[in-house]
Structure 1
Amino acid sequence: MKSLKIAILGTRGIPNHYGGFEHISEYVSAGLVKRGHSVTVYNSHNHPYTANTWNGVNIRHCYDPEYVVGTAGQFIYDLNCLMDARRQKFDVVLLMGYTSSSVWGRLYPASSAIITNMDGLEWKRSKYSKPVQQFLKYAEKLAVKHSQFYISDSRVIKEYLESKYHIHSEYIPYGADVYTEQEREQVSKSDALKEDYFLLMARMEPENNIETILEGFNNSNSRREFVVLGDTGNRFGQFIRHRFKNDERISFRGAIFDNTKVRALQNNSYLYFHGHSVGGTNPSLLEAMASEALIAAHNNPFNKSVLNADAFYFSNAHEVREIVETVQRTGNEQLMVRNNLNKIAFQFNWGKIVDEYESFIVECYERKNSERITAARG
C-alpha cells in the first residue's frame, strides 16, 4: 500500500484539550503514522502543546485569533490552515467538520482528495440563534458542494445526508478502548468509591440536557452525590451552578482531561447520565460504555443507534427523577453493561476505526488520482 501524505484540519489541535474531533484526531493521526503514512495535524497557536511532532505526527501551528476577536476568529484560523495546506501538496486533506471551513471551499487544495467528516447536524444545536442556525445550514451545503468524499460518524447522519443531498458518505464512528486492569491500578481507592455517586460529563450547553438531568436529581429523594464534569466558565455553565447551588449533593468538578481519572469515575459511578441530544456517535458515551458504566441516556435516535436496549432513557426531568429513585444494579443492569462492553470490543474499538479510516482515505486518494489521470488523457 502506498504511503500517503495526509493532513487533518478543522480541530483546535492535538493532544486533545477540547472535544470530540480533537479526540478522534489523536487516535486516527497516530494510528495512520503507525501504518506508514505521513500525517500532519493543524494546531491553533494557542494550543498548550507547542512541539512540532507528537507520537510521530507532524504538527503545524497556525495563527488563531479566536481568543481575541471571538467566534469570527475560527474562520480566520481555518483560512490560515487551508492556505498553509495548499503549499504542502498533501495527497489527502481530511476536514473535521465544516462550520468555519466550508466558506473557504473554493480554496480547498485542488490537487488533494478532499474528505469532510460531516459532524452532527450543527444547525440543530439550541445554543445557536436562528440566524446562526440558518448560516450553519448554508455551511453544510457548501461542505457538500466543495468536498469530494464524506464521512458520517453516525448512521443517523448517513441517512440524513443520503435523503437531503443524495450523496454517499462512509459510516465511520468514534472508537474507545476497553478499560484495562492497568488503568484500574493507577487510581487510588479513595478516588474510586464504587457505585457511590451519579455522574454527568458534558460541555455546558443547553442541548446536552444538563439542566433537565440536574433538575430531575434535585427533585429526587436520593442521598447519593451527583458529580458533574465540565467547564462551567461559560454563561450557561454559570447559570447551572447558580440554579443548583443550594443542593449540597451536586458537586461541580470542572473539566478533567486526564483520561485515566475520567474512566475511573465512569467505571465506579452508580449510574452515568448522557444527555447529548445533537450530534453523531459521541466519544464520551463510547468511553462510558468501554469503562463498564451503567448508562441513562437522553431519548433520541443518535443515542439509541449506539446503545439500543442497553440503557435507561429519559426525555424530561420527571423521567430522570424516576430513574434516580428506582435504578438497581442487579442482573439485568449488569447484562446491559456487558452488552455495551461487547459493542466496544467488536464495533467501536480504535484499531477497527483506524483501519476503516485508512481504507477509506486510500480509496479516496486512488479515486481522485484515477480521475486526474483520466482528465489528463482526455
Structure 2
Amino acid sequence: MKIAILGTRGIPNYYGGFEQFAEFFSVYLAEKGHDVYCYNSHNHKYQEKTFHGVNLIHKHDPEYKFGTFGQFIYDFNCIMDSRKRNFDIILQLGYTSNSVWFFLMPKKSINIINMDGLEWKRSKYSKPVQQFLKLAEWLAAKSGDYLVSDSLGIKKFLLEKYKKESTYIAYGAYPFNSPNEDILKEYQVEKENFNMIMARFEPENNLDMVLEGVALNSEDKTPILVVGNHNTKYGEYLKNKFKPHENIRFMGGIYNLQHLNNLRYYSKLYFHGHSVGGTNPSLLEAMASQALIAAHNNDFNKGVLKENAFYFSNPTEVKNLLNNSKKSNNLPFIKNNYEAIVNEFNWTKINGDYLQLFEQCMERYKAGKSK
C-alpha cells in the first residue's frame, strides 16, 4: 500500500504524542514493505528526505510566525500535495485544523481519521475557539471514510453524538523494567518517600485539585514533584498559590525518559489529573513504569485503569489517599497495569491493529470498485 500520514509536525518526534505514534507506526509500515510518506514541517529539526525507510515530505509551516493559524496553512499545504501522489490511504492524526479542508482531500484515497480527544472541552480555548473546534469535530466525523478512537470513551461519544462507528485502537507505551535508584539523588528524593504529578499546566488536568489536597495535609512534609512547563499564566498562578508549601516542588519539564520512568517507578503515589481527551500517553507510561496510580475519577481514566487505581474527585479525597495509600499494600494494582501495557497497550499490537484496519479498508474499497 502507498500510505501517507498527515496532521503532525513530523518525525522523528520532537514534540508530542501524535508525533511519537507517527514515528513508531510509519517505521513499522516501512519495515513491512509498504510505501510510506510522512508530512513534516519545513523547519523540522530533521531535514533528511527519509527516516528508517519512511519518505519525508517537508511542507511550509508558518506556525512559528502566525501561531495556531499557521497550522491551517500547513495542513492546507500538506493536503494539496497529497492530491498529486495517488495514495491508497491517508491517515490523519487529529482534526483541529485539517478538517476545514475536507473538501480538498483526494477522492480516490481512503481517508482515515484518528479523532483524538474532545478538544473543544479544553478550558485553555476561548468560547469562539471552542465553538470552532466543535464544528471541526463534526466535519471530521462526517467526512472521514473511517474513524479511529484511542479510548472507549471517545468511541462511545462518537456513536452517541454523530451516529458514527469507529475502530478502537489505543495508544501505546514501552514496559519499563530497568530501575536505577541513583537517579533519585539528582532530584533530592528517596525511594517511595515522594509523590508525583505530571501534566501540561491547564485547568482540566486538575493540578490545582491535587495540590489543594497536598496543602490540606499540612503536617505531612512528603515532597510532591510537579512535572511540566510551568512558565505559563496558569503555572504562575499555581506557583504563587502554593508558594508557602515547601514540599510542593515545581520541577519544570523533564524530557529524559529514563529519568521520568525511574521517578514514576520509585514514587509513593503518582497522580493523574487529566479529565479531557482519549487515552493519555503519560498515563500509559505511568502504568508501564509500575507506579501506584491515583487518577481523576472520569470515564476516560477508568476505561484504561479499570479497578487498578485509586480515584479522586476533590481535594479531600486526595488528602485521604495521601494518608492511607501504601505501595506495598497495592501490588496487584501495579502488576495488573503493567500486564495491561504488555498485553494490550504495547506498540507492536497497536501497530498491528492499525495495519489490520488498513488492510480491511483496502479490501472493502477494492470490493466496491469491482461491483
**Aligned counterpart, 1:279:** 277
TM, length-normalised to structure 2: 0.94
Counterpart position of 2:227: 229
2:46, 2:250 → 1: CA distance?
27
Question: Counterpart of 1:5 in structure 2: which amino acid?
Answer: K
- 1:190 pairs with 2:185: yes
How large is the Cα RMSD of the aligned pairs? 1.8
One-letter amino acid of the counterpart of residue 197, structure 1 = F
Contact kept? 1:117, 1:152, Cα under 8 Å: yes
- Contact 2:184/2:263, CA 8 A, preserved across alignment: no
Alpha-carbon distance between aligned partners in 1 of 2:98 and 2:366, rounded to the nearest angstrom: 24
Q: Any conservation in 1 of the 2:11–2:23 contact (CA below 8 Å)?
A: yes
Identify if the C-alpha distance between structure 1 residues 50 and 260 changes in structure 2 by more than 3 Å, giving closer, same or farther. Answer: farther
Which residue number in structure 2 is paired with residue 216 of structure 1?
213
The within-5 A match list for 1:1-378 is 4-181=1-178, 184=179, 188=183, 190-191=185-186, 193-220=190-217, 221-331=219-329, 333-374=330-371
**Which segments of 5 or more consecutive residues in structure 2 lack a partner in the other structure?**
none
Q: Take 1:174 and 1:201, find their aligned partners in 2: how far apart are those partners?
A: 18
Shift, 1:246, TM fit:
3.2
The Cα shift of 1:49 comes to: 2.8
Give the deviation of 1:362 after TM superposition.
1.6
Rounded Cα–Cα distance in structure 1 between residues aligned with 2:303 and 2:239: 31
Q: Distance in 2 between matches of 1:236 and 1:148?
A: 39
Hey, what's the Cα distance between the residues in 1 that align with 2:351 and 2:38?
16
In the comparison of the two structures, how many residue pairs are matched? 368
Q: Is the 8 A contact 1:97 1:118 kept in 2?
A: yes
CA offset at residue 231 of structure 1?
A: 1.4
Paired residue secondary structure (2:55) = strand
Q: Deviations over 1:181-202 (max 9, x none)?
A: 3xx3596463584213111111
Q: Give the drift of 1:203.
A: 1.2
Alpha carbons 2:26, 2:38 under 8 Å: kept: yes
Contact 2:180 2:262 in 1 (8 A): no
Bigger mean CA offset, 279-288 vs 244-253 = 244-253
Deviates more, 1:322-331 or 1:202-211: 322-331
User: Whole-Å Cα distance in 1 between the matches of residues 215 and 181 of structure 2?
Assistant: 33
Unaligned 5+ residue runs, structure 1? none
